[in-house]
Amino acid sequence: MPLFMIALGVAILVLLIVKLKLNTFVALIIVSTLVGLLLGIPITKINTVIENGIGSQLGSLAIVFGLGAMLGRLIADSGAGYRIAMVLSEKFGRRQIEWAIVLASFIIGLALFFEVGLVVLLPIVFVIANE
């Protein structure tokens, strides 16, 4: 029976990614939670099991990076990265753009983990570099 539930989880994972075009990281977390529940793992232990499954060394870091990368991609795709880059360029001028990046990094870094802040700022830095 556990093998059937795992096979069902793989089928649902493929369906979420291929048919519904859901982000692979989010689909993996959803399916991992669902399979954990189907296998009878207590709901309070599922997050620990998923973290251990991703890797005891990279568990929490991988989740932070994954979610941070998704947030960074949203910033880039929505045009927010371009807007932030343009406002910083206008306020500081092209010659002082380094200070604008330092200020933006400081402000974003106060509220986020370093890893997430880095991933969020990368699209902004790339837009500024292209300009």
Q: What is the pTM of this model?
A: 0.51
User: How many CB atoms lie under 10 A from the CB of residue 14?
Assistant: 12
Q: Using N-to-C axis directions, what is the helix angle for 59-78 and 24-38, rounded to 10°? A: 140
Residue 107 in tokens = 């402000």
pLDDT band per the 50, 70, 90 thresholds, residue 30? very high
Q: pLDDT digits over 67-119, tens only?
A: 777 777 777 678 776 777 778 778 888 788 788 777 777 766 665 666 666 76
